[in-house]
């Protein structure tokens, strides 16, 4: 891998389309920054995959984004953040380039979760991988040991979104099922965290089956605010991020397919390019 230290765009990575919900918020909050989005659509979903596989795929994606000139990469995917981020930060980055950074979506979300809950009972929805990793439980326990956390894996939710079924009547069954299940396990929950970047697309359905006393927290704005603060605290990294307000899109699948589906996540057309990992 040949890497330069020239300033570059910020890389935003997801297994598929879900990271676009995070990218939207980045661009709204920091329109001056340049971004490169990469969706590993050919190998999505990551949710059911093992640690080894999620780590290997995520490292390949991060390496590609580094080769494309990114000095900072955001894993806009909870599954990759849960299963690959720590190893990449601790083991790989020092060997690849100690000045580059890779950040995830779990930590910034955990940092603010206490602002939302009064009962100190939080429910997290995520992929099987994210929930089984217990990353949210462990991180929340470090910051706020008094918060009790229940995780609920929702294996069908990503599939509903990826297949354009988020607003279908069929989606109601799978959404209600997991909301009922999590509330049965802990009736004191007053905050649902959508711990998967695909789930904001199901927001209306989730709201429909959630008691009005429970608030639903999406990560996009939280992660965007956190990135904004990070760049203010790290002017040396901000200086390594270019600012022409551009965004380019890459997918490991067919670009036409990506362009069409991305319309469900973005309110403007995109022209993605194919990327081989």
172-191: contacts with ligand DGL (CB under 6 A): none
Nearer to ligand DGL, 109 or 191 (CB): 109
Nearest approach, Cβ of residue 49 and ligand DGL (Å): 8
- Cβ contact 140:92 at 8 Å: no
Q: Does 197 bind ligand DGL (CB under 6 A)?
A: yes
For 124, residues 6+ apart whose C-beta sits below 8 A from its C-beta are 131, 136, 149, 150, 151, 152, 192, 193, 195
Phi, psi of 231 (to 5 degrees): -70, -30
41 touching ligand DGL, by CB under 6 A? no
| 8 A C-beta contact, residue 13 and residue 75 | yes
- Residue 161 CB, nearest distance to ligand DGL (Å)? 9
DSSP string, 77-142: -HHHHHHTHHHIIIIIHHHH-TT-EEE-SHHHHHHHGGGT-SSSEEEEEE-HHHHHHTHHHHHHHH
> Shortest Cβ distance from residue 77 to ligand DGL (Å)?
4
Residue entry with tokens 């959630």: 210
Alpha carbon distance 186, 190 (integer Å): 10
Segment interacting with ligand DGL (CB under 6 A) among 11-19, 89-97, 183-191, 231-239? 11-19
Structure tokens at 33: 């920054």
Least Cβ distance, residue 98 to ligand DGL (angstroms): 27
Per 3-state DSSP, what percentage of the chain is helix, strand, and coil (rounded to 5)? 50, 15, 35
Among 14, 34, 152, 253, binds ligand DGL (CB under 6 A): 14
- Residue 77 gets the label, from left (phi > 0), alpha (psi -120 to 50) or beta, of beta
Residue 47 binding ligand DGL, by CB under 6 A: yes
Nearest-angstrom CA–CA distance, 45 and 7: 31
> Looking at beta carbons only, is 35 or 46 nearer to ligand DGL?
46
Does residue number 124 form part of the binding site for ligand DGL (CB under 6 A)? no
User: Does 58 help bind ligand DGL (rule: CB under 6 A)?
Assistant: no
Active-site residue 247, yes or no?
A: no
Q: Which residues pair with 13 in a beta bridge?
A: 38, 75
Residue 219 binds to ligand DGL (criterion: CB under 6 A): no
* Rounded distance between C-alpha atoms, residue 46 and residue 129, angstroms: 8
The answer to the question of residue 77 lying near ligand DGL (CB under 6 A) is yes
Only segment of 111-119, 193-201, 202-210, 235-243 that touches ligand DGL (CB under 6 A): 193-201
The residue from 77, 154, 241, 247 that is catalytic is 77
Confirm or reject binding of residue 44 to ligand DGL (CB under 6 A). yes
- Check if 70 is active-site: no
Binding positions for ligand DGL, rule: CB under 6 A: 14-16, 18, 44-47, 77-79, 127, 130, 158, 196-198
The catalytic site residues sit at 77, 196
């Amino acid at each position: 891998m040949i890497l330069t230290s020239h300033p570059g765009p910020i890389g935003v990575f997801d297994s598929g389309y879900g990271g676009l919900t995070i990218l939207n918020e980045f661009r709204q909050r920091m329109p001056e920054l340049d971004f490169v989005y990469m969706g590993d659509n050919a190998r999505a979903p990551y949710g059911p995959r093992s640690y080894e596989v999620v780590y290997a795929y995520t490292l390949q994606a991060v390496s590609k984004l580094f080769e494309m000139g990114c000095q900072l990469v955001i894993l806009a995917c909870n599954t990759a953040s849960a299963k690959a981020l720590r190893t990449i930060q601790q083991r790989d980055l020092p060997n690849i380039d100690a000045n580059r950074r890779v950040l995830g979506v779990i930590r910034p979300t955990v940092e603010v979760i206490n602002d939302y809950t009064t009962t100190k009972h939080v429910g997290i929805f995520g992929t099987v991988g994210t929930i089984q990793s217990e990353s949210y439980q462990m991180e929340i326990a470090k910051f706020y040991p008094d918060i009790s956390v229940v995780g609920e894996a929702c294996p069908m939710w990503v599939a509903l979104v990826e297949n354009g079924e988020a607003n279908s009547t069929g989606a109601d069954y799978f959404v209600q099922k997991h909301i009922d299940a999590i509330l049965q396990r802990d009736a004191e929950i007053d905050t649902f965290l959508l711990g998967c970047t695909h789930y904001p697309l199901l927001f209306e359905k989730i709201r429909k089956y959630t008691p009005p006393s429970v608030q639903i927290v999406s990560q996009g704005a939280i992660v965007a605010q956190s990135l904004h603060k990070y760049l203010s605290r790290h002017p040396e990294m901000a200086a390594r991020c270019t600012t022409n307000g551009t965004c380019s899109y890459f997918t490991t699948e067919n670009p036409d397919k990506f362009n069409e589906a991305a319309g469900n996540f973005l309110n403007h057309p995109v022209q993605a390019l194919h990327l081989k990992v």
